[in-house]
Amino acid sequence: MTGQLFDKAPCGYFAFFDDGTMFESNLTLGTILKYDTGQLKGRNIETIFTLPTRIFFQTHLFPLVRMHGHAEEIFLSLLTSDGVHLPVLLNAKRIEFDQRMLTCCVFIVVPNRKKFEEELVLARNGAERALRENTELLKVKLDLQEHSEKLDQQMQQIRRQNNELKQFSHVVTHNLKEPLRKILLFTRKLETENNSNTVERLMRSANQMKAVVNGLQQYVWLNEKSNQFQKVDLNVIIGRAQNVLNEEIDADLLSLHYKDLLFLDGDEEQLQLLIYHLLSNSVKFRKNQKVNVTIQSTILKQNKFRSVEGKYKYEDYVRLEIMDDGIGFDEVYKEHIFELFRKLDLTPGQGLGLSLCKKIVDNHNGFIEAHSVANAFTKITVWLPLHQPAKEDQ
């Protein structure tokens, strides 16, 4: 009874000796391969192997079974009596029987395995192709992003240069032309009369022209200077700027408050000049005997694109706020106060400090804003990138 059940088991079975002679098989094997009962016994095992399986059997399968005594889940193809190739999954075990070594094998037919494997290969190839295409797309997007960033920087630079040319034109046609006219006028007077008042006015005009020229030289220096970016402590920079200012003014005129400011990438020399001019302005435009100035810093995200519309890339910026309780100004002028030699009052000076501040901020790829209420306060907000790009990326 047990033998009958084994003959009809839902798997093929066969056993062969080391010389390849088929020792036995079950009825399921005969049914699958279309052989009559007893027809295979005594034949060489390679009778039921396809040509690729014969090669695989001789070079891999049989040596593997002899070495380890077993093999599992081996995929190969068997040959039916009418020449059809059947894909099967086979397990084999080597045992000793009647003082001879016998290899026993069982298998199941897996007709869809090849189809599944082909589909898996197609799916894998499709995934690899999609990955390549996606990688190429990402590379194109990164290249486009990089070009957009460079374009934005170039547009900002062109815009600044055009604005600077307009301002320089105004300086040449007005700020320099007027003192020069007065110098020529007073010189002619000196030719005809000895007048101390004329000499005094001549010296005043000459000093005015000298101040304008010095201011232009400082502006040109900032325009041509190579940025030396390094990690900068704002606390140290502000302390140095305050010391320089205290050598020029009475220290009691300024009450400065700041604490635990941030580090950022910057040019120390330029940032010190920036703080110096902002503090100097606060002292110059104070409304009381002493001006109170508070400086704070915070890290916030800002879109680095300033000129290309519809592009966004948010990076860390340091927001530096310098607020005083001075005379303030009408906010209708807040966009003009950063122009070269633009003055909003009759106080001494050339109206140069804030334009130099803007130039320094531009050199740091940042931007500067002003907010004020007349006779109440002025707040200058400077936005500077926390990290500057490497030289090769600029």
pLDDT score at 22 = 93
Which residue carries 């630079």 as its tokens?
A: 157
Long-range CB contacts for residues 342-345, cutoff 8 Å, separation at least 24? 345/285
Q: Is 51 left (phi over 0), alpha (psi -120 to 50) or beta?
A: alpha
Query: Are 318 and 361 spatial neighbours (Cβ–Cβ below 8 Å)?
Result: no
DSSP E strand stretches across 158-241: 230-233
- Cβ count within 10 A of residue 365: 21
pLDDT score at 172 = 56
- Cβ count within 10 A of residue 46: 16
- How does strand 263-266 pair with strand 230-233? antiparallel
Query: Are 45 and 16 spatial neighbours (Cβ–Cβ below 8 Å)?
Result: yes
- Cβ count within 10 A of residue 220: 13
For the four alpha carbons of 194, 198, 200 and 203, in that order, the dihedral sign comes to: negative
The 8-class DSSP code of residue 165 comes to H
The 8-class DSSP code of residue 261 comes to P
Backbone torsions φ then ψ of 139, nearest 5 degrees: -65, -45
Which residue carries 């080391």 as its tokens?
A: 18
What are the boundaries of each domain within the chain? 2-111, 227-394
Task: Give the DSSP letter string of 32-58.
Answer: HHT--TTSSTTSBGGGGB-HHHHHHII
Most distant CA atoms of the chain, gap in Å: 147
pLDDT score at 78 = 94
- Cβ count within 10 A of residue 217: 10
- How does strand 254-257 pair with strand 291-303? parallel
Three-state DSSP state, 267: coil
Q: Which two tokens stand for residue 154?
A: 């170039």
- Cβ count within 10 A of residue 140: 10
Q: What amino acid is encoded at 254 in this protein?
A: L
Query: Are 370 and 337 spatial neighbours (Cβ–Cβ below 8 Å)?
Result: yes
Query: Are 368 and 338 spatial neighbours (Cβ–Cβ below 8 Å)?
Result: yes
Q: Which two tokens stand for residue 267?
A: 């040019």
> For the domain with range 227-394, which CATH number is right: 3.40.30.10, 3.40.190.10, 3.40.50.300, 3.30.565.10?
3.30.565.10
- Per-residue pLDDT tens digits of the chain, which is 394 residues long: 556 788 888 899 999 999 999 999 999 999 999 998 788 889 999 999 999 999 999 999 999 999 999 999 898 999 999 999 999 999 999 999 988 999 999 999 988 766 666 776 777 777 778 777 777 778 777 877 777 777 777 777 777 766 765 666 556 555 666 676 677 676 666 666 666 676 677 666 666 666 666 666 666 666 667 788 999 999 999 999 999 999 988 989 999 999 999 999 999 999 999 999 999 999 998 988 899 999 999 999 988 877 777 778 889 999 999 999 999 888 887 877 887 666 555 455 555 778 889 989 999 999 999 999 989 999 999 999 999 987 655 5
Burial of 343 (0-12, 13-18, 19+ CB in 10 A): middle
What is the C-alpha to C-alpha distance for residues 371 and 334, in angstroms, rounded to an integer?
A: 7
pLDDT score at 145 = 77
DSSP E strand stretches across the chain: 12-17, 22-25, 70-79, 85-97, 100-109, 230-233, 254-257, 263-266, 291-303, 314-324, 367-373, 377-385
What is the C-alpha to C-alpha distance for residues 29 and 16, in angstroms, rounded to an integer?
A: 14
- Cβ count within 10 A of residue 104: 18
The 8-class DSSP code of residue 227 comes to P
- How does strand 70-79 pair with strand 85-97? antiparallel
pTM for the full predicted model: 0.52
pLDDT score at 346 = 44
Which residue carries 């200077």 as its tokens?
A: 225
Query: Are 286 and 327 spatial neighbours (Cβ–Cβ below 8 Å)?
Result: yes
pLDDT score at 47 = 92
Task: With residue 186 as reference, give the H or E element that holds it.
Answer: helix 177-192
How would CATH label the architecture of 2-111?
A: 2-Layer Sandwich (3.30)
